[in-house]
């Protein structure tokens, strides 16, 4: 136990000195293995872990989904999705903000990254709301919370990483994320509606013009069909997530080439961005596996499972403790760091309590989504502040009512697991 405490102190120290979480976990895990087993066996475990993790076929889905998002963003399709949503509902009171949430759902299905979605919204939707005299407080808050939808709505990179770390079906995770994602979007829209009718932060937009709305939507239809094809292929058991991701890349390339919106420089940036993001994620997964191996050799996980099996505490209380711990971690870490640190212990505990792994994955994902909005880190708020120039204090104040709705949705998912598991139960494969 003393060695484990020292390793935890080492991990915390490395993180305090701002070492990337992947390297901090890898170093701490390797040092722990060296103390536990000796240097040669530790090197053997290190070699095997890196090979087994990085050669996993399911990891192919990560660069492909990222590349699909990069291509559509570079081809200006994401901006057009925002404009189309604003054309349809931007004329009602609070409509531009609700259109931003609707566009965030579409963007989430394209981008799969919360910070990228927030940055895109801040660049496109925020200036539009400001020009229509929306308060900066509401506009920046909507941009921040809208970006979190990319964590739950498929093809979420966070869900892919959770699936890899826990060996849970990524296809079922994707399908399970649809209803919670839409439920969250509806909750956010309801908050906007209440704010619009009780304050003067969200005036009406331009009058509705059917012709303009139809014109702005025609460029988005191919993208919507592509999303339906990708998710439908997974849902129907026609393709695995990796195969569906390849279909998405091919479809994205066809769309942007047909619409003549992709330049060679943008294509080059898309490939470069995909490679950088993929290397970062695979490194996190591999180093997390090293730390998980250390926990296995120390039998910490085994001891925790024995405690769960013998304790008189109700399983709901234990789950509440896990959720609370994840919420606290979300105040200081990004979502991938939380998954890599917490899942080696939290996932076996949840399985010992006989919870469904797909349901647990959505609950965990929803919990780390909330962490993107809570200070002091609140990563999405920082991205929105950097893009819009709105002070962080103002954004965090605007986020409060949305944060309460996020917690309410999380509570609903905890109390009613069938909301999450209904769609996956209908899958053909």
Q: What is the mean pLDDT of the chain?
A: 81
In this structure, the answer to whether residues 294 and 414 fall within a common structural domain is yes
What would the mean pLDDT of 79-91 be, rounded to a whole number? 74
Asked whether residue 69 carries a pLDDT value surpassing 70, the answer given is yes
137-to-133, 143, 200 alpha-carbon distances in Å: 11, 10, 12
In this structure, the answer to whether residues 305 and 417 fall within a common structural domain is yes
pLDDT tens for each residue of 157-171:
788 888 888 888 888
Asked whether residue 38 carries a pLDDT value surpassing 80, the answer given is yes
What would the mean pLDDT of 98-107 be, rounded to a whole number? 81
Q: How far apart are CA 259 and CA 348, in angstroms?
A: 48
Which residue did the predictor score with more confidence, 104 or 188? 188
Contact partners, residue 346, CB within 8 Å, separation at least 6: 322, 325, 326, 364
Q: For CA atoms 383, 388, 389, 392, give the dihedral sign.
A: negative
Domain extent at residue 12: 1-55
In this structure, the answer to whether residues 49 and 69 fall within a common structural domain is no
In this structure, the answer to whether residues 299 and 363 fall within a common structural domain is yes
pLDDT of residue 414: 92
In this structure, the answer to whether residues 1 and 79 fall within a common structural domain is no
Q: How far apart are CA 285 and CA 273, in angstroms?
A: 19
What would the mean pLDDT of 373-396 be, rounded to a whole number? 80
199-to-192, 203, 393, 398 alpha-carbon distances in Å: 10, 9, 19, 13
Confidence band (pLDDT; 50, 70, 90) for 332? low
What would the mean pLDDT of 206-212 be, rounded to a whole number? 75
Asked whether residue 429 carries a pLDDT value surpassing 60, the answer given is no
Question: Token pair for residue 188?
Answer: 């956010």
Percent of the chain with pLDDT over 90: 9
Confidence band (pLDDT; 50, 70, 90) for 358? very high
pLDDT of residue 301: 61
pLDDT of residue 1: 63
In this structure, the answer to whether residues 6 and 95 fall within a common structural domain is no
What would the mean pLDDT of 368-395 be, rounded to a whole number? 80
In this structure, the answer to whether residues 200 and 272 fall within a common structural domain is yes
Q: How far apart are CA 365 and CA 342, in angstroms?
A: 12
What would the mean pLDDT of 180-193 be, rounded to a whole number? 91
In this structure, the answer to whether residues 15 and 64 fall within a common structural domain is no
Asked whether residue 261 carries a pLDDT value surpassing 80, the answer given is no
In this structure, the answer to whether residues 31 and 84 fall within a common structural domain is no
Confidence band (pLDDT; 50, 70, 90) for 111? low
- Of 277-286, 300-309, 406-415, which range is least confident? 300-309
Q: Is the pTM of this model over 0.75?
A: yes
Confidence band (pLDDT; 50, 70, 90) for 312? confident
pLDDT of residue 183: 92
In this structure, the answer to whether residues 157 and 170 fall within a common structural domain is yes
The domain tally of the chain equals 2
What would the mean pLDDT of 35-61 be, rounded to a whole number? 79
In this structure, the answer to whether residues 265 and 328 fall within a common structural domain is yes
In this structure, the answer to whether residues 95 and 173 fall within a common structural domain is yes
């Amino acid at each position: 136990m003393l060695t484990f405490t020292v390793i935890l102190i080492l991990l915390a120290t490395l993180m305090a000195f701002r070492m990337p979480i992947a390297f901090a976990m890898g170093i701490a895990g390797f040092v722990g293995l060296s103390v536990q087993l000796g240097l040669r066996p530790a090197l053997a475990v290190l070699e095997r872990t890196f090979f087994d993790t990085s050669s996993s076929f399911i990891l192919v889905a990560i660069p492909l989904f990222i590349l699909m998002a990069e291509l559509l963003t570079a081809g200006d399709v994401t901006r057009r999705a925002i404009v189309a949503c604003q054309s349809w509902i931007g004329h009602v009171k609070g409509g531009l903000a609700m259109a931003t949430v609707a566009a965030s759902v579409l963007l989430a299905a394209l981008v799969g990254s919360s910070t990228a979605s927030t940055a895109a919204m801040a660049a496109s939707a925020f200036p539009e709301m400001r020009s229509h005299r929306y308060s900066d407080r509401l506009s920046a808050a909507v941009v921040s919370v809208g970006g979190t939808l990319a964590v739950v709505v498929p093809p979420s990179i966070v869900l892919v990483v959770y699936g890899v770390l826990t060996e849970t079906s990524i296809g079922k995770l994707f399908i399970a994320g649809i209803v919670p994602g839409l439920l969250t979007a509806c909750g956010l829209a309801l908050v906007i509606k209440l704010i619009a009718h009780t304050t003067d932060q969200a005036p009406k937009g331009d009058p509705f013009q059917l012709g303009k709305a139809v014109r702005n939507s025609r460029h988005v239809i191919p993208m919507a069909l592509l999303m339906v094809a990708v998710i439908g292929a997974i849902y129907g058991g026609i393709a695995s997530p990796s195969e569906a991701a390849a279909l998405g890349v091919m479809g994205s390339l066809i769309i942007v080439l047909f619409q003549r919106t992709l330049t060679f420089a943008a294509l080059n940036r898309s490939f470069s961005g995909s490679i950088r993001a993929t290397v970062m994620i695979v490194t996190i997964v591999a180093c997390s596996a090293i730390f998980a191996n250390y926990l296995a050799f120390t039998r910490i996980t085994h001891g925790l499972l024995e405690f769960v099996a013998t304790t008189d505490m109700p399983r709901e209380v234990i789950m509440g403790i896990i959720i609370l711990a994840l919420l606290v971690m979300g105040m200081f870490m990004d979502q991938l760091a939380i998954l890599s640190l917490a899942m080696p212990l939290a996932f076996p505990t949840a399985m010992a309590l006989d919870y469904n792994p797909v349901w647990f994955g959505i609950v965990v994902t929803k919990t780390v989504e909330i962490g993107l909005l809570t200070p002091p880190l609140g990563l999405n708020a920082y991205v929105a502040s950097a893009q819009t120039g709105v002070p962080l204090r103002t954004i965090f104040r605007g986020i409060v009512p949305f944060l309460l709705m996020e917690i309410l949705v999380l509570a609903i998912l905890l109390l009613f697991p069938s909301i999450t598991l209904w769609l996956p139960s209908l899958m053909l494969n």
